[in-house]
């Protein structure tokens, strides 16, 4: 059974875990109203997705 020969130091452990950080949300532009929304999401202001109406928005 393979086991590590030596313990990982604190700095090596932290260097390895430094890649776990959160990434920012990619924001796209709605093709109909122009508002900034996350990609692959129906626009909450106009209700369109990829130029097609998906939901009805009440004013």
Q: Tell me the pairing of strands 27-29 and 52-53.
A: unpaired
| pLDDT for res 57 | 81
| pLDDT for res 43 | 93
Domain ranges of the chain: 27-59
More confident: 3 or 23:
3
- In this predicted model, what pLDDT tens digit does every residue of 7-58 receive, in sequence order? 999 999 999 898 888 888 899 999 899 999 999 999 999 999 998 999 888 7
34: left (phi over 0), alpha (psi -120 to 50) or beta: left
| pLDDT for res 29 | 93
| Reported pTM | 0.56
| pLDDT for res 23 | 85
Buried b (16+ CB within 10 A) or exposed e, 19-54: eeeeeeeeeeebeeeeeebeeeebbeebbbbeeeee
């Amino acid at each position: 059974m393979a086991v590590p020969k030596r313990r990982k130091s604190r700095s090596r452990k932290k260097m390895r875990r430094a890649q776990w950080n959160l990434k920012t949300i990619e924001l796209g532009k709605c093709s109909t109203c122009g508002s900034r929304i996350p990609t692959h999401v129906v626009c909450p202001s106009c209700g369109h997705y990829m130029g097609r109406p998906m939901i009805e928005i009440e004013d």
